[in-house]
Structure 1
Amino acid sequence: MPPAGRVAAYVGLLLLGAVVGAAGSLVQSAWVPAGVLLALLGAVGLFRGGAYAMGTRAGAVAPAAGWMISVILLTATRPEGDFLFAAGVVSYLFLLGGMAVAVMCATLGPGRQPNDPGARLAK
């Protein structure tokens, strides 16, 4: 069982990922060429920062999950006909690019390594 502080940090990263996803959803369509880049760079910064702050790949997965949940919930249309994402290249670039960035950051995050130098292979 992980310590309570570590669990709280993962929950905080999950909530921060949801906020970054919601903010990116608004920015990506506001400034067409630069908005998508800004939204994706914000996601990359959060995912990589979470991985390095926690020292594990789960540090990138937690904000990526929050990002994914908020973005998927914001893609749904409302009964009144309101929507946040228009059907266009920019929206799909944000959705698919964010998912690809999340997978890359979670894959390239720091893995668990023993701290003892004698525990490494070929030593």
Structure 2
Amino acid sequence: MRPLRIAAYALLVVVGAVVGIAGALVQSAWFPGGLLLALLGLAALCYGGLYATRARAGAWSPAGGWLMVVLFLTATRPEGDFVFGSGVGSYLFLLGGMFAGVMCATVPKVPQPPASATRLGK
């Protein structure tokens, strides 16, 4: 792998983590609009990573960063503080985000470069 591609994947992981933090705060603040905004943001980032890198790892990278941060935020602290409540919105955010990341990484075909006018082997 080239260093530029590795840097792109690392950047996608970091941006996925930022989207996870923002989504965790927005999804409960403006329910149900915030939940939809958070899930659409993750789906757009994953598909954009897939399209930009032309590899499935481009979709898995932001989904992995999102998942690491969201799982970290679900843990309670010794003081009793936590980010996620026990409502339906939190569970929809967790399951919907995982579904969106997996869907973007597995369902669409990786975009191919434009085909040339000539056939191969001719």
Contact 1:51 1:58 in 2 (8 A): yes
Secondary structure of the equivalent of 2:120?
helix
Within 5 A, what are the aligned runs for 1:91-102? Answer: 91-102=90-101
Aligned equivalent of 2:76: 77
Name the TM-score, length of structure 2 as normaliser.
0.90
Q: 1:9 to 1:109 in 2, by over 3 A?
A: farther
Q: How does 1:8-47 map to 2 (within 5 A)?
A: 8-47=7-46
Gaps of 5+ in 2: none
Alignment check: 8 A CA contact 1:52 1:110 kept: no
**Alignment size in residue pairs:** 118
Q: Which residue of 2 is the match for residue 55 of structure 1? A: 54
Q: Is the 8 A contact 1:55 1:110 kept in 2?
A: no
> Sequence identity of aligned pairs in percent?
58
1-side partners of 2:107 and 2:59: how far apart?
Answer: 9
Which structure has the highest helix share of the two?
1
- Kindly state the Cα deviation for residue 33 of structure 1 after the two structures are TM-superposed: 1.1
1:118 maps to 2:117:
no
**Stretch moving more, 108-117 or 47-56:** 108-117
Is the contact made by 1:51 and 1:109 (CA closer than 8 Å) also made in structure 2? no
TM-score by length of 1: 0.89
